[in-house]
Structures are given as structure tokens and as C-alpha cells.
Amino acid sequence: MFSITPQSKEDKLTLYLDGTLDISTVPDWNKELENIEDFSCIHLCTIDFTYLSFIDSTGIGVLLDFIYLAEKNEFALEFENMSEEIHEVLDIVGIFEIKDTVLKGVS
Amino acid sequence: MAFAGNLMNHFTTSQLNKEMDDARRIQMSLLSGEPPELFRGSLSGMSLPARLIGGDYFDYLMIDEERIRIVVGDVMGKGIPAAMLMTMLRGSFRTTASYAGGPGETLRKMNEALCDDLKALRSFATLFCADWNVRTNELSFANAGHNPPLYITENGISNLKAKGVMVGALPHQSYEQGSLTLACGEGVLFYTDGITEAENQAGEQFSKERLHSLLHDIKAFSSREIVSKILYSLAQFTNNKPQNDDITMIMLKN
């Protein structure tokens, strides 16, 4: 089970993730993102991981894709409220370093 | 017409099944090479895909008379797409390992070679590479986003720590190199997260804690025995629950 609850305020968008993000739920991520049609007017997107319980390599792949989407649409990206376990997994693969490098010019 | 259609479907399905069997046979033969003969210590490795074929990779290569280069990796995803990318990793490692100076340089060159393709395919791989010198007992190692291997000693079990970004996300990466000396009886388990994330019928994961505890109990055995006991323990834990992810490990013991 996986869902995204989007909340927007002016040019800021927050995506609240809930459930597990793995090979079986990545289609749900893609479907949910399709509902957010236009990223061009967003300046800051925050992904809230409070209710994300598990992420596998396919889930990490969609986060990587989202970093490239932020680069293309020139919006800043922040990750918030992740558990120690998920933070450790993302830190080992280098996702924070990738985010900071790819989005260096985006404020 | 319906009969012809059914026949065509049957032919296509059986052809596809045959090709999948061939693909599995090829991948298993690429992964199941016997470790080189060592005059000290022992090595044992295995890989068990979650589907017919998988995206995990392990390999070892003698690079001179004293040093053996070991690699373990995990391509994003599972099944046929991951397996196709796994063969790219193998080709790149086999080419690079023969001339790169150390594990850090091996990973740097593999990232240079694969980065554009992996990025275009919206994929990535994690890799851990190590050189073991059988004369000096020195193990040098570097990491490209892979879960850290476990260093098993008389006094406990710890992670082999080295930082580095996954292969396929950023070009021009350098990979820091660590090293240690393996005392007699000490070992290192290189593995993929399919082991710690294997689930039982209640949905609990095997977990790092269970793996640490198991290794503590079986550390006196040979490499081959340790690998076999981990597999047995996983089978008991999962109790026929279908495997979620590819499982791969290499055990090195001095």
C-alpha cells in the first residue's frame, strides 16, 4: 500500500508519503504524480517521509527521478521527517549528496 | 482461425519460456564461477534471484599473484531489466579490474563507463569492491552506495565503512578507500540487502540484528559452511514465503 497526499500553498508543494515505496507500489507513485500535472510554477517541494515505512532500490530510483524532475523544472527539493532506517538507506546510496549536487544552482 | 491463434500463443509462450530458461542458465554460469585457489584463507559466493533471473552481481578475479579483487553489486529493480544491466556491470568490472590500481579506481572507472547508460535507462547500481592480498592479509576496499559488508572478528561484528555514491547518478566521482588487516580466523561477509530484508509469513524482516547474531554463532566454520548456514537459516525464517528480492553473498575468511 502506498499513497501520496499533496498539499500546496502558493508556490510551495508538500508531498506526504504513506506506506511502502517498493517495486510493487512504484506504479502508484507514478500514478499519483500524474495527478500533479504542473510543476513549472513550484519553487519548493518538500517530501514528508513521516509515514513511509520502507523503501527498496526501485523506490530509491523514483526519488532519483524526482531529483532530475526538480532539476528540469528548477524547483528546490527538501526531504523531511524520515525514520533513522530510511535515512541510513538513503545516506548509504548517496541520495543526499546527489540531490545537493544536481540541485546546486536551484535555490 | 481460433485454433491458429491458440497455436501461435502456445508457440510464443513456449519459445519465451525456453528463452527465459536459456537466460537463467547464462546468468547462473556468469555468477557461479569457482573462486580462485588461494594459498591462504577461503572464499565462497552464491546468488539466488527472486525471479528466474535477477540484478545482483558478485565476482572475484586474481589481478596478480598476491591479490584477488572481489565485487558485489545490486542493480535497481528485479527480473529481466535488472539482469540485462547486471551483465553490463560484469563486463565493465572484468574489463576495468584487470588494469585499475585498486578498488577505488575500479569503482571510479566503472562509474565513468556506465554512468551515461544507466542515467539514460533511469537506473543505477550499488557496488562494493575489495582487494585481498593473500600474502600480507591486507584488505583494501571502496564503496559505491552499497550496504557495508560485515567484518567478523573474535571481539564482535562491525561494518566496513567507506563512503561513495551509487554508480550511474553522478559523473566524475571518486571513491575513498579504506583498509584493514585480517587476522587469522577473521572474515568478511559481502552481501546484498535481499538477505536482511527477507520476510517471514508474519511480514517481519530477517534484519541486520538476526544476521549479526547468526554470524556470531557460526563464525568458526569455513566460508562455504557459513554461506550454507545463512541460506538454511533464511529458508527456516521465511518458511516458504516467496522471496522478495535477489539474495547474494560472498564470504571471505582468513
Residue A78's pLDDT is what?
97
* Residues B142 and B201 reside in one and the same domain: yes
Q: What is the C-alpha to C-alpha distance for residues A77 and A13, in angstroms, rounded to an integer?
A: 10
- Does A1 score more than 70 pLDDT? yes
Whether chain B has a CB inside 8 Å of the CB on A24: the answer is no
Terminal Cα distance for chain A, rounded: 33
Within 8 A by CB and 6+ apart from A57, the residues are B74, B75, B76, B77, B124, B126, B193
A52 inside 8 A of chain B by CB: no
Task: Give the pLDDT of residue B23.
Answer: 80
Give the pLDDT score at B141: 98
Interface of B with A in 102-141 (CB under 8 A): 122-124, 126
Yes or no, beta carbons of A92 and B148 under 8 Å apart: yes
Interface test with B, best of A62, A85, A92 (most B CBs within 10 A): A92
CA B118 to chain CA centroid, Å, is 18
Per the listing, cell 557496488 goes with B127
B229 and B162 share one domain: yes
The separation between the first and the last C-alpha atoms of chain B, rounded to the nearest angstrom, is 66
**Model pLDDT, residue B11:** 64
Q: Are residues B23 and B139 in the same domain?
A: no
Give every CB contact of residue B41 below 8 A, 6+ residues apart in sequence.
Answer: B132, B134, B182, B252, B253, B254
Chain A nearest-CA residue for B124: A61
| DSSP string for chain B | -HHHHHHHHHHHHHHHHHHHHHHHHHHHHHH-PPPPP-SSSEEEEEEE-SSSS-SEEEEEEE-SSSEEEEEEEEESS-HHHHHHHHHHHHHHHHHHHTT-SSHHHHHHHHHHHHHHHHHHTT--EEEEEEEEETTT-EEEEEEEBPPPPEEEETTEEEE-----PPBTSSSS----EEEEEPPTT-EEEEE-TTTTT-B-TTS-B-HHHHHHHHHHHHTTS-HHHHHHHHHHHHHHHHTTPPP-S-EEEEEEE-
Cβ-Cβ contacts under 8 Å, A57 against chain B: 74-77, 124, 126, 193
Phi then psi dihedrals of residue B226, to 5 deg: -60, -45
pLDDT at A33: 86
Mark which residues 55-94 of A lie under 8 Å from B by CB. 56-58, 60-61, 64-65, 92-94
Contact A92 B77 (CB under 8 A): no
What per-residue confidence (pLDDT) applies to B219?
95
Shared-domain flag, residues B110 and B27: no
Cβ–Cβ of A57/B170 closer than 8 Å? no
Domains and CATH numbers, chain A: 2-102 (3.30.750.24)
- pLDDT of B31 reads 77
Per residue in B86-124, pLDDT tens? Answer: 889 999 999 999 898 999 999 999 999 999 999 988 899
A61 pLDDT above the threshold of 70:
yes
Same domain, B140 and B153: yes
Does pLDDT of A37 surpass 90? no
pLDDT, tens digit (0-9, with 9 covering 90-100), for B140-154 = 999 999 999 999 999
Question: Looking at the structure, do residues B9 and B47 belong to the same domain, yes or no?
Answer: no
- Give B169's contacts in chain A (Cβ within 8 Å): 64, 94, 98
Q: How far apart are CA A18 and CA A53, in angstroms?
A: 8
Task: Please count the structural domains in chain B.
Answer: 2
How many beta carbons lie within 10 A of that of residue B119, not counting itself? 16
| The three grid cell numbers given for residue B200, joined into one nine-digit string | 517471514
Burial category of B75 from C-beta neighbours within 10 Å (exposed 0-12, middle 13-18, buried 19 and up): buried
In this complex, the residue of B164, B166, B170 whose CB is nearest that of residue A101 is B170
SS3 A107: coil
Give how far B77 is from chain A: nearest CA, Å.
5
pLDDT of residue B227: 97
Both B25 and B41 in one domain: the answer is no
Cell 521527517: give the residue: A81
Check whether residue B49 and residue B80 sit in a common domain: yes
d(CA B148, CA A94): 13
Chain A environment of B76 (Cβ under 8 Å): 57-58, 60-61
Q: In this structure, what CATH number is given to the domain that contains residue B157?
A: 3.60.40.10
What residues of chain B score a pLDDT lower than 50?
Answer: none
The pLDDT, as a whole number, for residue B107 is 97
B165 and chain A: CB distance < 8 Å anywhere? yes
Model pLDDT, residue A39:
83
Q: pLDDT grade, residue A35 (50/70/90)?
A: confident
Q: Same domain, yes or no, for B234 and B200?
A: yes
* B85, B148: one domain: yes
The answer on B51 and B18 residing in a single domain is no
pLDDT of residue B7: 61
A93·B77 Cβ contact <8 A: no
Host domain of residue B80: 35-253
Based on the domain organization, do B140 and B17 belong to the same domain? no
**How many other β-carbons are positioned within 10 Å of the β-carbon of residue B13?**
10
Amino acid B41: pLDDT: 84
The count of CB pairs under 8 A between chains A and B is: 51
Closest CA relative to residue B229, chosen from B176, B187, B168, B166: B187
